[in-house]
Amino acid sequence: MEASPTKWLTTLEPAPAGFTQVLLTKRHLLSGPVLVLVTDMAAIAQLLPDYRERMQGIIMTLDEPMQMQELTPVLWHVRLALDQVGVAATLAAGWLGAVARADQATQELFAMDTKAERIERQLRLTRADYNDLTNRLLAQVQDLTVAKQALGELNQSLESRVNARTADLAQANASLSKTLDELRTTQKELVRTAQLAGLGSMVAGIAHELNTPIGTALTGATALAESARSIQSRYAQGQLGRKALDEFLQGTQDISELLERNLTRAAERIAQFKRVAVDVGNEERHRFKLMDVITGTMAFLAPKIEGTRYRLTLELDQSIELDSYPGAISQVLNNFVTNALMHAFNEREIGTMVLRTALCPGDALEITFSDDGNGVCADQLPHLFEPFFTTRFGQGGSGLGLYIVYTQVRDLLGGRVEVKSVPEQGTCFTVTIPLVAPAPME
């Protein structure tokens, strides 16, 4: 609670009952709800000109008639006669209490006003924050809308670009597929051509092998025919003597023997060629003796070797039989020899090739073909079986010889081929194939 509202002050002397006589000061007037008894209002106004706004309580002045005036809700002015002071004073306690409560209400109202002012300011700031945030969010929404629109357009553009690019890629893919098919076809044709070139080489060998006995037989037959015509003419003229007949008969016997010998040789060659040529030309498997295939192959390879200073040594197991593809084996051997003659001895005076055959564990055949030639450098060795790999491109090398070896051994004979080489010492191919070839792949 604030100060006690029981202050009854007066400037009158003697002080009426209940009043304290004081020399009135501002402190007295403003020390809370007070009851002040003075002769007139001038005494108050002189001390406190703005007493109406600042004082709380009751100011009693001596005047008649009795009159009561509310200066403010907390300050009253009572005019009364001196003999009425006692009566009025009896009301003062409750009256001043009411003034104190009114003053308290005024303080609370002021505090409320202040609080309202503070809240209003906080609301103003909050409103400003809200507006700022709203504007900020709107700007962000606008930015997002623009971005979304741009993204939509970009997506649309991207979609059409993707479609166009997809079509281009499909076309390019189709073109590439076509090109790849063509390349595969070309590769097959090249391989087939190389194989046919092998056949051509074989035919040349055949022709060379048959040429001598048949030529000799033809010469003999021609000489025999001439002798026969000469004897017939002499006989018709009656000039045929015994001596001439003996000579003719002897000559006929010699020529017949010559013819028989050479034609027999030709027949033997043809039989060999027939066996190999038929096998090389087709890929039918059957049971055969390896020795027959090698002998046949070597027969038509002989002319190639005979014109050189290089030799081929055979170290063969003559007992080996296979259920496989003799044409493929012949082609492999042909390509080994041809490849060696073309590459192995370049700029060498002499050279030796060795062909070995042997059985190896697992019912397999090992064919080893080696030379003591130039060898292959290490960086080229891994590429030796790749198609079209050649170091003599444009000089007769197709680059398919060893590739054909590789595919025939792997795909048809069901085996494997390996190569080792030491530069300046030579190269060695090792083919390992099963004695019974696998069933052909579908």
Q: Any contact of residue 133 with other proteins (CB under 8 A)?
A: yes
Residue 399: count of CB within 10 angstroms of its CB: 17
- Quote the CA–CA distance of 70 and 183 in Å, as a whole number: 122
Q: Any contact of residue 111 with other proteins (CB under 8 A)?
A: yes
In this structure, are residues 345 and 427 in contact, taking their beta carbons and an 8 Å threshold?
no
Question: Judged by CB, which is closer to other proteins: 125, or 164?
Answer: 125
Closest CA to 58 of 10, 21, 13: 10
Q: Dihedral of the CA atoms 233, 238, 243, 247 (nearest 10)?
A: 20
In this structure, are residues 47 and 104 in contact, taking their beta carbons and an 8 Å threshold?
no
In this structure, are residues 305 and 336 in contact, taking their beta carbons and an 8 Å threshold?
no
Q: Any contact of residue 129 with other proteins (CB under 8 A)?
A: yes
Task: Report in angstroms how near the CB of residue 26 gets to other proteins at its nearest.
Answer: 7
Residues 66, 94, 110, 358: which binds other proteins (CB under 8 A)? Answer: 110
Residues 67, 69, 121, 287: which binds other proteins (CB under 8 A)? Answer: 121
Task: Report in angstroms how near the CB of residue 61 gets to other proteins at its nearest.
Answer: 22
Task: Report in angstroms how near the CB of residue 48 gets to other proteins at its nearest.
Answer: 9
Q: Any contact of residue 126 with other proteins (CB under 8 A)?
A: yes
Amino acid present at 158:
L
Closest CA to 368 of 381, 358, 378: 358
Task: Report in angstroms how near the CB of residue 132 gets to other proteins at its nearest.
Answer: 7
Q: What Rg value do the Cα atoms of the chain yield, rounded?
A: 69
Q: Any contact of residue 138 with other proteins (CB under 8 A)?
A: no
- Quote the CA–CA distance of 165 and 176 in Å, as a whole number: 16
Q: Any contact of residue 146 with other proteins (CB under 8 A)?
A: no
In this structure, are residues 425 and 368 in contact, taking their beta carbons and an 8 Å threshold?
no
Q: Any contact of residue 243 with other proteins (CB under 8 A)?
A: no
Q: Which long-range contacts (CB under 8 A, 24 or more apart) does 44-51 make?
A: 51/75
Mask for 9-28, x = binds other proteins (CB under 8 A):
-----------------xx-
Q: Is 430 helix (H, G, I), strand (E, B) or coil?
A: strand
Q: Any contact of residue 125 with other proteins (CB under 8 A)?
A: yes
* Contacts (CB under 8 A) with other proteins, residues 43-62: 54, 56
Question: Judged by CB, which is closer to other proteins: 122, or 155?
Answer: 122
* Contacts (CB under 8 A) with other proteins, residues 407-426: none
Amino acid present at 63:
D
Task: Report in angstroms how near the CB of residue 11 gets to other proteins at its nearest.
Answer: 19
* Contact set with other proteins (CB under 8 A): 2-3, 26-27, 30-32, 54, 56, 103, 106-108, 110-111, 114-115, 117-118, 121-122, 125-126, 128-129, 132-133, 136
